[in-house]
Amino acid sequence: MSKILITGACGQLGSELTTELRKIHGTDNVIASDIREANDQIGDGPFEHLDVMDKARIEEVIEKYNITVIYHLAALLSANAEKNIELAWKLNMDGLLNVLNIAREKNLERIFWPSSIAVFGPDAPKNDTPQNTATNPTTVYGITKVAGEQWCAYFYNKFGVDVRSLRYPGLIGYKSLPGGGTTDYAVDIYHKALAGETFSCFLEEDAALPMMYMSDAVKATIDLMQVPEENVKVRTSYNVAAISFNPAEIADSIIKQLPGFEIEYAPDYRQEIASSWPDSIDDSAARSDWGWKHEFDLDKMTVDILENLPIIIEKAES
Ligand code: SER
């Protein structure tokens, strides 16, 4: 039986993945960890305080629970990384290399590591960006993701470490607050809409980006981790896509449900990050190699969030 460690479990993806993996594998078989305190979103179950830059501490946790699989999510996201480029490099790279080296040394069964559409810079085609094309990222976050992808492929090819990876688009969930990403405006916007506030958007109205609803992202992750090794043909990281929209389009989708909602635009340094990324990406390799298929389009996601977010807010306030 797999014993799973999740790093960065208190983040947006981490908290939802922890809950889902605990449903599949049993609460005690999924160890949540984070440098932050445990939060309500990850629920009850084993939790370890863990700094992924501390290799000895990761080893200690792995030995304590006989971990066989790691979902290594701890990282700085794009906007936060631009504010602290040295920490971003250290956390995102040392963390990954620690996990990959431990996987090699302890012969772990499988590793998951998230990459991002941020690997692509202005030299990549903007629409339907292919799996293999010029990357040349212009953000420090993108640099860490390109380097990380190459390390993953290297550890698989040289040492047989079965590390699997997805290039996530912007992930939109309602269970956690935004975490310092450029695509996170599309999380915050629902909170403001429900509070009856005008949303001030830090991107321009036509800044289209590839996006995905969190439940699709969780499904993609778990699907990729479950397929037989021979199906995983891309050993850097798979493009995965679902929807693509700009701030004006998400605002329109919200207005269909909440007609009084208003948005205004005050682009800041994050617009430059968004401009360097694709508008939409081609994920045909993921679809053909391991059957990836998304479920939520923009309107379906909006309806689901506006239905469920009030329950979360009420719980947090009580
Ligand atoms: N959602 C991430 C960010 O905006 C991109 O991977 O940082």
Contact 259, 176 (CB under 8 A): no
| 141 among known catalytic residues | yes
Going by C-alpha positions, the residue among 96, 83, 86 that lies closest to residue 145 is 96
Closest ligand 1 atom to residue 184 Cα is 4
pLDDT in tens, the chain (318 residues): 899 999 999 999 999 999 999 999 999 999 999 999 988 888 889 999 999 999 999 999 999 999 999 999 999 999 999 999 999 999 999 999 999 999 999 999 999 999 999 999 999 999 999 999 999 999 999 999 999 999 999 999 999 999 999 999 999 999 888 878 999 999 999 999 999 999 999 999 999 999 999 999 999 999 999 999 999 999 999 999 999 999 999 999 999 999 999 999 999 999 999 999 999 999 999 999 999 999 999 999 999 999 999 888 888 787
pLDDT at position 42 is: 84
pLDDT at 179: 76
Ligand 1 neighbourhood includes 178 CB (under 6 angstroms)? no
- As a CATH number, domain 172-210+242-280+295-317 is 3.90.25
Tens digit of each residue's pLDDT (9 = 90 or more) over 23-32: 999 999 999 9
Report the first-to-last Cα separation within the chain, whole angstroms.
38
The CB of 77 under 6 Å from ligand 1? The reply is yes
CA-closest candidate to residue 65, choices 30, 23, 110: 30
Alpha-carbon Rg for the chain, nearest whole angstrom, is 19
Pocket test for ligand 1, best of 143, 172, 182, 187 (most atoms within 8 A of CB): 182
User: What is the Å distance from ligand 1's center to 76 Cα?
Assistant: 9
Which residue in 141, 168, 185, 238 is the catalytic one?
141
Taken in order 46, 212, 142, 184, is the CA torsion positive or negative?
Answer: negative
The 10s digit of each residue's pLDDT in 40-85 is 888 889 999 999 999 999 999 999 999 999 999 999 999 999 999 9
Evaluate: CB of 140 within 6 angstroms of ligand 1. no
- What CA–CA distance (Å, rounded) separates 156 from 154? 5
Ligand 1 pocket mutation, candidates 113, 138, 141, criterion most atoms within 8 A of CB:
141
**CA 288 to CA 154: how far, in whole Å?**
23
Report CA torsion sign: 76, 38, 59, 16.
Answer: negative
Hunting for tokens 């037989």 — which residue is that?
228
Nearest 5°: the CA angle 218, 224, 230 is: 175
From the CB of 8, is ligand 1 less than 6 Å away?
no
Predicted pLDDT at 230? 96
Domain boundaries, the chain: 4-171+213-239, 172-210+242-280+295-317
203 lines ligand 1 (CB under 6 A): no
SS (H, E, C) the chain: CCCEEEECCCCHHHHHHHHHHHHHHCHHHEEEEECCCCCHHHCCCCEEECCCCCHHHHHHHHHHHCCCEEEECCCCCHHHHHHCHHHHHHHHHHHHHHHHHHHHHCCCCEEEEEEEHHHCCCCCCCCCECCCCCCCCCCHHHHHHHHHHHHHHHHHHHHCCCEEEEEECEEECCCCCCCCCHHHHHHHHHHHHHHCCCEEECCCCCCCEEEEEHHHHHHHHHHHHHCCHHHCCCCCCEECCCEEECHHHHHHHHHHHCCCCCEEECCCHHHHHHHHCCCCECCHHHHHHHCCCCCCCHHHHHHHHHHHHHHHHHHHHC
Say which CATH topology domain 4-171+213-239 has. Rossmann fold (3.40.50)
Ligand 1 near 170 CB (within 6 A): yes
Distance 248 CA to ligand 1 centre (A): 19
Centroid of ligand 1 to alpha carbon of 17 (angstroms): 17
pLDDT computed for residue 253 by the predictor: 98
> For the whole prediction, is pTM greater than 0.85?
yes
Burial class of residue 219 (count of CB atoms within 10 Å of its CB; 0-12, 13-18, 19+): middle
Q: What is the model's pLDDT at position 142?
A: 98
